[in-house]
Amino acid sequence: MTDRTVTANIALSLDGRYHGAGGAPDFGAFVPYLTTDVARDHMSRIWENATTAVLSRGNAEGFLGFWPSVAEDENADPRDRGYAKWLVDTEKVVFSSTLTEAPWERTRIVSGSAADVVTDLKASGEGEILVNTSPSIAKALLAADLLDRLHLLIIPVITGGGQRLFEDGLPATGWKLAHQETGALGEIAVIYDRVR
């Protein structure tokens, strides 16, 4: 039996939100910070040890509609290409209550409890399990205390509305800072490891 590390990555505003007041499509305030050197280096770190990507259906559709073309683009930033190739080639587990078949290669569709699915993933295979910018799944795993590492990109914007990653009611947990880096625009890439 293995016990794989479960990680999650997400960009957050200073007020802890992962999108603006307009809902999921309201991501404009984040965009200028996502292509900085600090952000791209941070993105390279999130997948370097991961062998499984866990995604919500919406994120899978968006990511897998965009990143495969970057993997083929010889002019793309090498860090972007590295992430894109990893995403295309790695095992993907996509949560959906409506899809019955995966339209993407190396993808398994699951439904039900994120905690149960991730617990099963932890017990088999090797490498890290990355919850890839999928806040609904990350929230469920935070609630079940199943996340071992958080990769956060903090952007210097207060959105004033939108959903928060860290909501009231989560179990009290301790985290240790494992890495931090600040970019020229004031963005901060941090990695926190769960203290158990």
**Is-contact 14 139, C-beta < 8 A?**
no
Mean pLDDT estimate for the chain: 94
Handedness of CA 19, 178, 34, 8 (dihedral sign): negative
Distance CA(136)–CA(89), nearest Å, equals: 24
33: DSSP letter? G
Written as six digits, the tokens of 73 are: 């683009």
* Structure confidence by residue, pLDDT tens digits, 122-148: 998 899 999 999 999 999 999 999 999
**Domain spanning 6-165+175-195, CATH architecture:** 3-Layer(aba) Sandwich (3.40)
SS3 for 117?
helix
Q: For the whole model, what pTM was predicted?
A: 0.93
Residue 160's CB is within 10 A of a number of other CB atoms, namely: 11
- How confident is the model at residue 101, as a pLDDT? 87
- E strands present in 72-173: 91-95, 107-110, 128-132, 149-155
* Mean per-residue pLDDT, 16-23: 90
pLDDT band at 1 (very low <50, low <70, confident <90, very high): very low
**Domain range list for the chain:** 6-165+175-195
pLDDT band at 23 (very low <50, low <70, confident <90, very high): confident
pLDDT band at 41 (very low <50, low <70, confident <90, very high): very high
What are the backbone angles phi and psi of residue 90, rounded to the nearest 5°? Answer: -80, 165
